Structure 1
Amino acid sequence: MWEDFGLRPGIDLGFFTLRFYALAYLAGIALGYWHLTRMIKAPGAPMAQRHAEDLFFYCTLGIILGGRLGYSIFYMPSLWDNPIDVLKTWEGGMSFHGGLIGVLIAIGWVCWRGKLPFLRVCDYIAVNVPFGMLFGRLANFVNGELWGRPADVPWAMIFPTDPLQVPRHPSQLYEAGLEGALLVIVMLYLFWRTRARFRPGLLVGIFTAGIAAGRFVVEFFREPDAQLAEFARETGLNMGQWLTIPLILVGIGLAIWSLMRPPLASGAATAPAATGAGTAPTTS
């Protein structure tokens, strides 16, 4: 029984309930920013500290706005019946694919302003995204939402929000493991223990293929969104799986393309000097 864990969706402050889902987003963004500041101190960084601060601000906007818009477009089009509902992020409902698009737009904006190499900046951001994925999926489990399909495995759980009250796969934990913990280990190892960061596109390619493949696998154990259950039955795959197939292909293609090109020399393609041209103002 999920209830045996004594979990609750947030911290009751009396006048306001602080949701763990919101805390998960904040924790993932904060840890990613802290780690990015350490990464750019290593040789060959494509950006300076001021760019990391800009990325922190704009990528946060991209995650929230892109994630919510993506959810309303891909998974819950009925929200547009009353456009105000699209803005109600506190009611839950975020799309990974929408958040990804939002982050790419944010990175593109910062790179254009600061005259930074887009692909290399994406490499550095990709290393940090799994932190947020890990915390976010754990928050889904704490909230008792997005549970999996009915199952008879020993670790199957009954969730209080399930109208059928049958044992189900705790698919939130599967996602936390594949899209979060495993990718954290892989990406940190590649950045700190290999020279992958000197091959533009390799890190973001591996991340894209890895997280999409993880999502594709977990969708076999995850209960489809109620409004898309018929779509899954008709097509044989969930909406999430159809959206991840192009990402898997793009990620693999980008990694192969990167490995076929000569690596950068150590220290090459670094960020502009603090007083040089192309300086982007820091967002506070």
Structure 2
Amino acid sequence: MPLFAIAYPMIDPVALQIGPIAIRWYALAYIAGLLLGWWLAKRICAKDALWGATPRLKPLDIDDLIVWVAFGVILGGRIGYVLFYDLPHYVASPLEALEVWHGGMSFHGGFLGAAVALSLFARLKKLPLMPVFDVAAAVTPIGLFFGRIANFINGELFGRVTDVPWAMVFPNGGPDPRHPSQLYQATLEGVVLFVLVQVLVRRGALKRPGLVTGAFVAGYGLARIVGEFFREPDAQLGFLAGGLTMGMLLSLPMVAIGLAVVVIASKRPANG
């Protein structure tokens, strides 16, 4: 163990209290991710040079799409957590599944929920599916970044015990210094993945529908797997077969599917 650890910044999870109403950083993270994603998606859709002849959403369509995505992420994230991470508990106490204010969201569930919402939106608007997915993939890392920062503020989803000089003692993690894995994941899933998809967008990837989506899906899967090596597994699950975690198992198919989509999209001629 190190002789010292970096002091964990004790930030109140409640950003603002107005009487009985508490506004939490976690909720603000969701709002910031959605609003900044909405703003960037409108800018991307407005630039003809990025798309060539590829059919795409109009900037005004993004105003409607953001509502669909928000519901898909929240519903899918909660359902995913219940199914993937603590099903026996919620089978015994099913009404607790509705108590979202107690926490418990799954990215993989939110990802599937958003995918369903995007698919329904594209069908309703009679738009080709892949360009809709590409726009969402281009901006999703923004929300991932803010979400992981909120995890850090809440002192949750902390890392494994370590002796690195930048280890922290988390309030709910016992007396041992741990990896600040939320910050690792914010960097990989947020910053690095955002740079990757934005470089692809600027280099004409939107002219090959599915390329940005595939890169995001595979990139997230890889980033999550790396992050899981430093993150403490969920207490109710622990390590699974072969020392894997649930996050790793759910991310492995994302890597395979994402790479397959990238290969297929890369073989298509660019639209314009």
TM-score (norm 1): 0.89
How do 1:124-273 and structure 2 match up within 5 A? 124-162=135-173, 164-191=174-201, 193-229=202-238, 232-265=239-272
8 A contact 1:10–1:20 mirrored in 2: yes
Instruction: Give the superposition deviation at 1:2.
Output: 7.0
Task: Determine whether 1:32 maps to 2:55.
Answer: no
Task: Determine whether 1:105 maps to 2:112.
Answer: no
RMSD over aligned Cα atoms: 1.4
Letter in structure 1 aligned against 2:10? G
Residue 152 of structure 1 aligns to a residue whose secondary structure is coil
Separation of aligned partners in 2, 1:150 and 1:249: 30
Deviates more, 1:81-90 or 1:129-138: 81-90
Indicate the residue corresponding to 1:7 in structure 2: 11
8 A contact 1:2–1:159 mirrored in 2: no
Instruction: Give the superposition deviation at 1:54.
Output: 1.9
Structure 1: where are the runs of 5+ without partners? 266-284
Q: Deviations over 1:27-47 (max 9, x none)?
A: 000100011111111113601
8 A contact 2:137–2:213 mirrored in 1: yes
Deviates more, 1:107-116 or 1:10-19: 10-19
Separation of aligned partners in 1, 2:204 and 2:163: 44
Q: Deviations over 1:39-82 (max 9, x none)?
A: 11111360113421221111000000000000000001112322
Aligned to 2:73, which of 51, 63, 68? 63
8 A contact 1:3–1:160 mirrored in 2: no
8 A contact 2:224–2:251 mirrored in 1: yes
Cα separation, partners in 2 of 1:233 and 1:201, compared to 1, 3 Å: closer
Structure 2: where are the runs of 5+ without partners? none
Deviates more, 1:76-85 or 1:22-31: 76-85
Residue 26 of structure 1 aligns to a residue whose secondary structure is helix
Separation of aligned partners in 1, 2:35 and 2:11: 24
Residue 262 of structure 1 aligns to a residue whose secondary structure is coil
Instruction: Give the superposition deviation at 1:4.
Output: 4.8
Separation of aligned partners in 2, 1:27 and 1:257: 33
Q: Deviations over 1:206-231 (max 9, x none)?
A: 000101100001101100001111xx
Separation of aligned partners in 2, 1:133 and 1:17: 23
Q: Deviations over 1:118-161 (max 9, x none)?
A: 01110111001000000000000011111010000000000011
Separation of aligned partners in 2, 1:3 and 1:16: 30
Counting matched residue pairs gives: 261
Letter in structure 2 aligned against 1:15? P
Cα separation, partners in 2 of 1:156 and 1:239, compared to 1, 3 Å: same
Separation of aligned partners in 2, 1:207 and 1:144: 27
Separation of aligned partners in 2, 1:81 and 1:34: 42
Separation of aligned partners in 2, 1:50 and 1:113: 15
Instruction: Give the superposition deviation at 1:182.
Output: 0.8
8 A contact 1:215–1:244 mirrored in 2: yes
TM-score (norm 2): 0.92
Instruction: Give the superposition deviation at 1:87.
Output: 1.7
Indicate the residue corresponding to 2:25 in structure 1: 20
Letter in structure 2 aligned against 1:55? L
